[in-house]
Amino acid sequence: MSAETKQNGVLDPSAQSIVYEFCHLLEKSKQLFNGLRDLPQYGHKQWQSYFGRAFDVYTKLWKFQQQHRELLDGAYGLKRWQIGEIASKIGQLYYHYYLRTSETNYLNESFAFYSAIRMRAYYSKANKEERPDLMVKKLRYYARFVIVCLLLKKMKLVRDLIRELAKLIDDYTGIYQPADALEWSMVLQEIKAFMDADSAVQVVEHDSSPVVLTHRLGPATCPPTERSLSGASPLHLAEILIVGNCADQVKFSELTLDMFRMLQTLELEPQELGAAGVGAGLGLGLRLGGGASSVAGSVSCEASPVSRRPQQQQPMENGSRRDNPHKYLLYKPGTAQMTMFLASSFKELPADGVLLLYISADGERCQPSPNGGDQGYEDGGVVTNSRRETAETETASGRLRKPPLAGLKSPHCIYPGDIYPYTRKPLFLVIDSDNSFAFHNFPNLFGQPLVCLMSPEEAPANFADQRQRGSLFTLFLHSPLTAFCAVCNVSTAVVMDWDRAQLILDKFLLEAGRQLARFRQIDVAYLQFYRDDFLRLLLLRYLFCSTTLRLHRAFRGPSFYPACRPPLPEQELAESAPLQKLLLDLALVFDTRALFGLGGTAQTAVGSAVFTTYILRLYEY
């Protein structure tokens, strides 16, 4: 600091003004940031103006501390960890804005700030301050950074962050002996378990280096629309509610593995990072809507994950990029919370919009009322709040619960009847539960488009034990090729085989769409939903799941197969010679042909040739 700025230990008026303005902006930013938790978590517009004010203040604060860094270092005593704290809160703002808008590009904004904090070592001297609260801030920053990297599939960086976080936790617990030591140890274990469970199949290069795959929707991942299925009035997916309440499933933060997979399935691939756009590190503006303001600096980013897909397929929406559907994520919600968010989604639905409700939860069965009159409640439903005190009953899966008193319905459960009011508008249900049977007779009371996809209720013993590592049904909807490998006990695949298998899978989905178009009895709801990229992909992946499990020798009987309402010709599709041949070609890629059987007329069409090919390949080894 120059002599002109400070004389006899007293700041000159201009320097005092700068320090005062910085303190004012810092205090204002803290007030706005703390006020975010008081905003309603639902709705589209109630919170936008508040976020706008928060971004404006943080933009001014960030620019101001950059322009007057030298003076603030001397006159205010600005430390690097304080700069890091400002950048961390900007990263949090972008992350929460992503959660509220569902726009994946804001994840890139959040990543840029979090990454710059680490690269510029803003928290490097935090452990020398002898302040445990400062160490906790650093640990929380790492935990948040891990979530953003997981969502962006930057897996190499995630592994580096986990190693650094483990060392920081050791330092924190060793120096301060804090009361929350066990809590941070559990956070670290959660992250490791989550990472391990999410890597159901490892795709590797020839040198055994891992290949990071992405499973969001992109131009190469969206099968084209069949013309004969596009005659009805088109609808588009506008609102999504993702609910997770599996008590024994791995999770990190407030995301179960099923929720994590489904939210990616229902998002567009983020746009690439660019020097002049999203991801220019601390050089990006704090964008909100169309406006942007520039700040100096840049940060290098890990290479983006790849989609192992052929690039010659049709682009989405006839070449135009659509917006992400708006979604809510609810982790172990109570009945009141879930009803409130469901009602909000229903209210915000546009005239041509579809509401998708995805529930991954433990089932709860109950006895029908002796007097009847409980339609929509007689077969139980899915658990919404695991914090209640209830007895557990032994079942094949070991997870079904019974209500506290015989003949009464549990108040901590979502029943099919609870969802009936929301069928007044187009509704797409995905139920992944060991009591999905409760939704088999879901009625269409109001004549609006309605589809319900339901998971199998049972699984072979070796797969049922893997429930905590994520549901097989959700995995089929998220990454059908990964799920196929999982049911074939393939844990590692060479990238060349993976690419070959992906081409076969794409042909299967294309052929399934063609065959679906030939059925005259198909419900009009499927025709209307099929025009939407996300819903079309879910439907075709559902058909792949159904066909795979019906032909797999380990899955025997209706309770081992998924189901849908209105019904689709799943058995006819499973007996289709072209689809069976494609599925068996897929099995041959991974040398798992023996796990699949053939049925119906397809046996004579493709069975002999495929079996001969399989035997010849065996003798090659």
Residue 204 domain-assigned? no
Mean pLDDT calculated for residue range 477-489: 96
* CA gap 342, 426 in Å, rounded: 13
Where is average pLDDT lowest: 372-376, 477-481, 564-568, 580-584? Answer: 372-376
- Residue carrying the six token digits 């890629």: 589
Q: How many residues does the chain have?
A: 621
Model confidence at 371, pLDDT cuts 50, 70, 90, reads: low
Note whether 157 and 252 are same-domain residues.
no
Note whether 261 and 152 are same-domain residues.
no
CA distances from 587 to 205, 253, 310, 477 (A): 20, 37, 20, 19
* CA gap 116, 300 in Å, rounded: 9
Residue 527 domain-assigned? yes
Mean pLDDT calculated for residue range 125-139: 86
Note whether 183 and 332 are same-domain residues.
no
Note whether 60 and 121 are same-domain residues.
yes
Q: In which domain, by residue range, is 440 found?
A: 236-269+324-368+375-388+409-595
What are phi and psi for residue 450, nearest 5 degrees? -145, 125
Count Cα atoms within 13 angstroms, Cβ side, for 426. 25
Mean pLDDT calculated for residue range 491-509: 95
Please tell me the predicted confidence (pLDDT) of residue 193: 94
Residue 543 domain-assigned? yes
The yes-or-no verdict on residue 92 having pLDDT over 80 is yes
Torsion angle (degrees, nearest 10) of CA 282, 288, 291, 294: -10
The yes-or-no verdict on residue 97 having pLDDT over 50 is yes
Mean pLDDT calculated for residue range 260-265: 96
Note whether 247 and 179 are same-domain residues.
no
Paired tokens of 573: 């599709």
Note whether 20 and 142 are same-domain residues.
yes
Residue 66 domain-assigned? yes
Note whether 64 and 168 are same-domain residues.
yes
Closest CA to 586 of 495, 491, 484, 472: 484
Note whether 132 and 241 are same-domain residues.
no
Residue 348 domain-assigned? yes
Paired tokens of 478: 């998220």
The yes-or-no verdict on residue 435 having pLDDT over 90 is yes
Note whether 182 and 247 are same-domain residues.
no
Please tell me the predicted confidence (pLDDT) of residue 412: 86
Average pLDDT, the chain: 84
The yes-or-no verdict on residue 119 having pLDDT over 90 is yes
Which of 172, 199, 226 is the C-terminal boundary of a domain? 199
Q: Please give the span between the terminal C-alpha atoms of the chain, in angstroms, as a whole number.
A: 76
Note whether 103 and 182 are same-domain residues.
yes
Model confidence at 342, pLDDT cuts 50, 70, 90, reads: very high
Residue 211 domain-assigned? no
Q: CATH no. for residue 347?
A: 3.40.50
Paired tokens of 322: 């659509």
What domain count does the chain have?
2
Please tell me the predicted confidence (pLDDT) of residue 128: 73
Q: DSSP alpha helices (H): ranges in 468-569?
A: 472-478, 480-487, 495-518, 524-529, 533-551
Contact 535, 354 (CB under 8 A): yes
The yes-or-no verdict on residue 489 having pLDDT over 90 is yes
Note whether 96 and 149 are same-domain residues.
yes
Note whether 107 and 246 are same-domain residues.
no
Residue 336 domain-assigned? yes
* CA gap 566, 525 in Å, rounded: 8
Helix (H) or strand (E) holding 454: strand 450-454
Residue 241 domain-assigned? yes
Percent of the chain with pLDDT over 70: 81
Paired tokens of 489: 């006990």
Mean pLDDT calculated for residue range 287-292: 36
Where is average pLDDT lowest: 107-111, 267-271, 465-469? Answer: 465-469
* CA gap 475, 262 in Å, rounded: 8
For CA atoms 246, 362, 402, 371, the dihedral sign is: positive
